[in-house]
Amino acid sequence: MKISRVIGLSLIALSLGGVCQLALPTVRLESMFYLSSLKTAYATAGKEEKPLPASAPVIFNPLIDADGKPIEPADTNFSVIVPKIGINAKVIPAVNPGDTKAYEEALKTGVAHASTSFFPNEEGTVYLFSHSTNYDWFVKDVNAVFYLLKNLELNDQIVLVYKGTRYTYRLTDKRVVAPTDISYLTPIEGKRNLILQTCWPPGSTTERLLILADLIDEAKLN
């Protein structure tokens, strides 16, 4: 990764104060998330997994929702999907993270992909950022796609769909950093990984919540 990319990425951590909206606590979306979790647990309770015959192929498909139904990507050209927390959103490519007007416009319709980062089919970090808020009504108004990122845990899966190919990542780290901390932007040559960013706490510009994940699978969409 060129030094210009690192410098450019650092602008994200320093200039995205406007991505967050001041807010008050709410419980409705949290309730929806936990209800979905309970629903999944209930559906699988008491069911024993029968071993497949040795000849049966194992098909890996992360695009399945809590009800076991297939998930249709919001946009097969570029989208981000996190089944656990119900994210399925279009990604706006190559958004300048240092241009407030540009990224605010992009965030009205989807998640922003930093122009200073890589694309999923390249050898480097894919960097996506989006709104977070605690106002129930602001979740829709400001398109706060990353509101529930805080509920993700290690090994949870995140899927990017890019130009008809599915890229699956596994969460390896979750951290809160100061806006001035850019140590996580240190390039790792040849490593294909993903960073999701939003503000923390939700509705504040005090810190940044980062979700870091490594690529574990790549496959063409059916």
* pLDDT higher than 70, residue 19: no
Query: On the CB side of 130, how many CA atoms lie within 13 Å of its CA?
Result: 27
Interacting residues of 58 by C-beta distance below 8 A, sequence separation 6+: 52
Strand positions, DSSP E, 139-201: 157-162, 165-177, 193-200
Amino acid at 98: G
What pLDDT is recorded for position 104?
86
Interacting residues of 110 by C-beta distance below 8 A, sequence separation 6+: 74, 75, 79, 89, 90, 91, 92, 143, 145
* Per-residue model confidence as pLDDT tens digits over 203-219: 667 888 999 999 999 99
CB 79 within 8 A of CB 160: yes
What pLDDT is recorded for position 59?
76
* pLDDT higher than 80, residue 114: yes
Of 95-104, 127-136, 197-206, the range with the lowest mean pLDDT is 127-136
What pLDDT is recorded for position 52?
57
Cα–Cα distance for residue pair 173/192, rounded to 1 Å = 15
Q: What share of the chain is helix, strand, coil (3-state, %, to 5)?
A: 25, 30, 45
The band of 98, judged by pLDDT with boundaries at 50, 70 and 90, is confident
Mean pLDDT across 26-45: 58
Return the domain boundaries, the chain: 3-31+62-220
Q: Of the CATH numbers 3.10.20.30, 3.30.450.20, 3.20.20.70, 2.40.260.10, which one belongs to the domain with range 3-31+62-220?
A: 2.40.260.10
Please give the residue that has the higher pLDDT: either 114 or 58.
Answer: 114
Pairing label, strands 111-114, 157-162: unpaired
* Per-residue model confidence as pLDDT tens digits over 136-190: 433 444 447 888 888 999 999 999 999 999 999 999 999 999 988 877 777 677 8
What pLDDT is recorded for position 24?
41
SS3 of residue 90 by DSSP = strand
What predicted TM-score, i.e. pTM, was given to this entire model?
0.77
Q: How many CB atoms lie within 10 A of CB 25?
A: 11
Whether the bond between 62 and the residue before it is cis, its omega within 30 degrees of 0, is no
* pLDDT higher than 90, residue 222: no
* Per-residue model confidence as pLDDT tens digits over 116-138: 899 999 999 999 998 654 444 33
Mean pLDDT across 1-23: 59
Question: What's the mean pLDDT when you consider all of the chain?
Answer: 79
Interacting residues of 49 by C-beta distance below 8 A, sequence separation 6+: none
Nearest CA among 176, 173, 172 for reference residue 199: 176
Query: On the CB side of 144, how many CA atoms lie within 13 Å of its CA?
Result: 26
Nearest CA among 87, 138, 101, 90 for reference residue 18: 101
Strand positions, DSSP E, the chain: 78-82, 87-95, 111-114, 125-129, 157-162, 165-177, 193-200, 207-220
Interacting residues of 62 by C-beta distance below 8 A, sequence separation 6+: 83, 157, 159, 166, 168, 217
Mean pLDDT across 27-33: 56
